[in-house]
């Protein structure tokens, strides 16, 4: 029994010496869960996802192509002003020397009636307060045509729409410059991405006549007599 134990200890010692004499090989730990080698491509959704769908690339645009502009403009203006002005002046003027015209020459005026005397006082006070708050919103969609292509690839678009309902007419006009990369896959572009944006909206008919100003009111608003 003792001989068997000695043989086991000797075998362990020999195995330990053999392992210690083997050349040491060091290697860093691979942190990738997929254990990709250096020659493999990196993991991407299109290679490892079952539900991945490749996004639709927008079609290149050229002359006379159509693009839909989504107009969504909001503006809020708040202005407050206050003025308090006071002006006071006092004038006391005496004309001591003057001249008279006799024939073709000037002579000194003796001012026998006394020196002219002017006295005045001005007291002016003005206080005004003003407050202005306006809110405007415009939201619609309109198809525009590419009318020009800039040397840098930007597109100049222009679109017009006229809606007639009996005697009422609504007319929309949109123009501006866009970048081709800003066009979404569904061939639309937001108005905030349109440079030099020009929007004109005009109404004609009974609806417009109900709230439009007459020519006399427009003239009075321009000259503001009161």
Domain boundaries, given as residue ranges, for the chain: 66-77+132-210, 84-131
Instruction: Check whether 61 has a pLDDT greater than 80.
Output: yes
Higher pLDDT, 137 or 58: 137
Residue-wise pLDDT tens digits, 99-117: 777 777 777 777 777 778 7
pLDDT tens readout for residues 176-196: 999 999 998 889 999 999 999
Q: Is the predicted pLDDT of residue 199 greater than 90, yes or no?
A: yes
Instruction: Give the pLDDT confidence score for residue 26 in this predicted structure.
Output: 47
* Structure-block tokens of residue 57: 């690339």
Q: Please provide the distance, in angstroms rounded to a whole number, between the alpha carbons at the two ends of the chain.
A: 127
Q: What is the DSSP letter of 225?
A: -
The neighbouring-strand residues paired with 157 are 146, 176
Q: What share of the chain is helix, strand, coil (3-state, %, to 5)?
A: 20, 45, 35
134, burial (CB in 10 Å: exposed 0-12, middle 13-18, buried 19+): exposed
Q: What pLDDT, on a 0 to 100 scale, did the predictor assign at position 30?
A: 52
Whether 67 and 174 have beta carbons less than 8 Å apart is answered as no
Least confident of 70-74, 104-108, 150-154, 193-197: 104-108
Of 15-19, 61-65, 185-189, the range with the lowest mean pLDDT is 15-19
Instruction: Check if the beta carbon of residue 186 is closer than 8 Å to that of residue 141.
Output: no
Q: How far apart are CA 177 and CA 148, in angstroms?
A: 9
Would you say 64 and 146 are in contact if contact means Cβ atoms under 8 Å apart? Answer: yes
Residue length of the chain: 226
Does this model's pTM top 0.75?
no
């Amino acid at each position: 029994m003792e001989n068997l134990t000695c043989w086991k200890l000797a075998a362990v010692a020999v195995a330990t010496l053999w392992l210690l004499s083997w050349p040491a090989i060091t290697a860093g730990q691979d942190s990738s869960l997929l254990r990709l080698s250096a020659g493999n491509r990196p993991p991407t959704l299109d290679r490892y996802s079952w539900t991945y769908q490749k996004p639709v690339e927008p079609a290149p645009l050229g002359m006379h192509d159509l693009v839909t502009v989504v107009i969504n403009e909001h503006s809020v203006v708040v202005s407050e002003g206050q003025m308090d002005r006071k002006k006071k002046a006092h004038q006391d003027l005496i004309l001591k020397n003057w001249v008279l015209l006799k024939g073709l020459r000037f002579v000194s005026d003796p001012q026998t009636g006394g020196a002219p005397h002017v006295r005045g006082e001005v007291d002016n006070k003005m206080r005004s307060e003003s407050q202005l708050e306006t809110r405007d919103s415009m939201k619609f969609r309109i198809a525009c045509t590419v009318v020009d292509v800039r040397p840098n690839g930007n597109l100049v678009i222009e679109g017009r729409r006229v809606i007639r309902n009996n005697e009422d007419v609504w007319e929309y006009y949109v123009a501006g410059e866009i970048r081709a990369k800003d066009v979404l896959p569904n061939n639309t572009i937001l108005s905030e991405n349109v440079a030099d944006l020009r929007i004109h909206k005009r109404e004609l008919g009974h609806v417009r006549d109900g709230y439009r100003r007459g020519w006399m009111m427009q003239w009075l608003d321009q000259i503001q007599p009161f």
